[in-house]
Amino acid sequence: MKEIGRLMALGLVFCTASVAWLVLAGVMTARTSSQEDGLRGRVADLWGTPLEQAAPTSTFHWVEEFKHDEVVRDADGKAERDKNGQPLLHTVVDHVQRDANERLSSTALTVDLTLDQRRKGLMWFSLYDVTFDGTWTVAHAGDEAGTMYFDFTFPAADGMYDDFRVTVDGKEPANVVPVGSLVRVPLEVAPGDSHTFSVHYVSRGMDRFAYLPVPRGQVDQVDNFTLAMTTDFAAIDFPTYTMSPSERKESGKGWKLDWAFRRLVTGSGMGMEMPQRIQPGPLAAEMSASAPISLALFMMWIYVIGLLKKLDIHPMNHLFIAGAFFAFHLLFGYTADHLPVEWAFGLSSVVSVFLVVSYLRLAVGPKFAVREAGIAQIVYLVGFSLAHFFDGFTGLAVTILGTATLFALMQLTGRVKWSEVFAASPPAKAPSQPSATPAVPA
């Protein structure tokens, strides 16, 4: 059965191309993983890591006196007694160090984010500059006098903080003490005192910035909180476990976002997720892994059209077409780390379509090559691959293309007698032998 043998040959072509695409997808994934592991650390060293600014803490330290009576003892340890035989007593004063956390009375923050995306190899990194200004008020509610320690922890111990300033009640204190990854400001306070602490710095980070008003994993009360954040980018998103702003409005190319709470009980923070560019490496791997779908639809279309038009499109023709489809993903995978991803996609599309159309022009005919094959390739290869640029639309594109192809093929082949198509070919007639010429007697 000729057609069944042809379909088996087409299946072999499809399986061979699918294996090649899976290998290419694996290679692209390995390249991307290798580059990401090596580059992310180097970019972080140069630019910074994701920044999570924790709220400062305020701790009050004081000394309590405790008096108690002890028995007076002699050098031998025996209790001394008075004339009445009673043990002699004396008063002892013990000093005990106490400390308690002071709640922040108010918080006023200003954060300005400037996006600066950088590309290294197959990876885009969403880097940013941040200008941070924070003002916190702490009121001492205790009845004792003592020392208040205001501790401000930097978001990253190995970060860079330009123009760093700490002020207390508008003045820069002389006794700022660095302690590991934080700075401590000691301040003598009396009952009822209230002080305002301010911090300013300019830094750099990657991927996201967040402010945590309470320690991660805890729930606490936050009083009189305001955060004003500005961005120079429009594609805003918020990290997980953070709250969306109370108000937002467009400001130039970006947004002005405001969080305002009078008395909030929460375990969440506030922050911003930086916009992400299309990653060439993962995109090339995803496109290669799903490429067999587009080739299957295209081969099915070409087979049916050739059958209806009685065109002799041999499985070897399909093999070369599959090679041109594979060339699209191969070229895209190895130009995407040298060209902008949009240019690499356009170049790969033009080259692949040119290969198929120019080949079928010779193998079948120019009209079929341009009208049936060329347009179909743009739809199934270029269009389907383009859907990968839009997150979440790949499955929808497969559904639409598959359904539309099924409808078109059902309408085109509705009157085809498949029993005749797959009927055994009649046996070929043996060539007639010329009849022997009788010998002519001499």
Taking only the tens place, the pLDDT of each residue in 283-296 is 888 889 989 999 99
Query: How far apart (Å, rounded) are the C-alpha atoms in residues 130 and 201?
Result: 8
Tell me if 314 sits within 8 A of 342, measured CB to CB.
no
Tell me if 108 sits within 8 A of 226, measured CB to CB.
yes
The whole-number average pLDDT for the span 27-33 is 82
| Cα 101–Cα 105–Cα 111 angle in degrees, nearest 5 | 105
* pLDDT number for residue 258: 94
pLDDT digits (tens, 9 = 90+) for 377-419: 999 999 888 888 887 778 888 888 888 888 888 888 888 888 8
**pLDDT above 50 (res 430):** no
Residue in 302, 298, 301 with CA at minimum distance from that of residue 326:
298
The whole-number average pLDDT for the span 3-15 is 88
**pLDDT above 90 (res 157):** no
What is the residue type of 178?
P
Query: How far apart (Å, rounded) are the C-alpha atoms in residues 225 and 136?
Result: 9
* pLDDT number for residue 428: 45
pLDDT digits (tens, 9 = 90+) for 63-97: 766 666 677 677 777 777 777 777 777 676 666 77
**pLDDT above 90 (res 19):** yes
Residue 406, both tokens? 């099924």
Tell me if 127 sits within 8 A of 118, measured CB to CB.
yes
* pLDDT number for residue 37: 65
Return the minimum-mean-pLDDT range out of 225-234, 302-311, 350-359: 302-311
**pLDDT above 70 (res 41):** no
The whole-number average pLDDT for the span 208-212 is 93
DSSP 229-253: EEES-S--B--TTBPPPSEEEEETT
User: Parallel, antiparallel, or unpaired: how do β-strands 51-54 and 182-189 relate?
Assistant: unpaired
pTM of the model: 0.71
Residue in 228, 226, 216 with CA at minimum distance from that of residue 266:
216
Return the minimum-mean-pLDDT range out of 6-15, 93-102, 249-258, 361-370: 93-102
* pLDDT number for residue 174: 80
Residue 202, both tokens? 């300019």
What is the residue type of 68?
H
Query: How far apart (Å, rounded) are the C-alpha atoms in residues 202 and 160?
Result: 8
pLDDT digits (tens, 9 = 90+) for 229-279: 999 998 888 988 889 899 999 888 899 999 999 998 988 999 999 998 888
256 phi, psi to nearest 5 deg: -115, 120
**pLDDT above 70 (res 439):** no
User: CB 381: neighbour CB atoms within 10 A?
Assistant: 25
User: CB 74: neighbour CB atoms within 10 A?
Assistant: 8
Across the chain, mean pLDDT equals 85
Length reported for the chain: 442
99 phi, psi to nearest 5 deg: -150, 150
State in Å, rounded, how far the first CA of the chain is from the last one.
54
- Is pLDDT larger for residue 260 or for residue 216? 260
The share of the chain scoring above pLDDT 90, in percent, equals: 36
User: CB 242: neighbour CB atoms within 10 A?
Assistant: 18
* pLDDT number for residue 434: 52
pLDDT tier, 170 (very low <50, low <70, confident <90, very high otherwise)? confident
The whole-number average pLDDT for the span 176-203 is 87
**pLDDT above 70 (res 436):** no
* pLDDT number for residue 86: 75
**pLDDT above 90 (res 324):** yes
Residue 306, both tokens? 């050739």
* Coarse DSSP helix, strand, coil percentages of the chain, rounded to the nearest 5 percent: 40, 35, 30
What is the residue type of 259?
W
* pLDDT number for residue 442: 43
Structural domains in the chain? 2-36+278-421 (no CATH), 49-55+103-273 (2.60.40.3680), 61-98 (no CATH)
**pLDDT above 50 (res 59):** yes
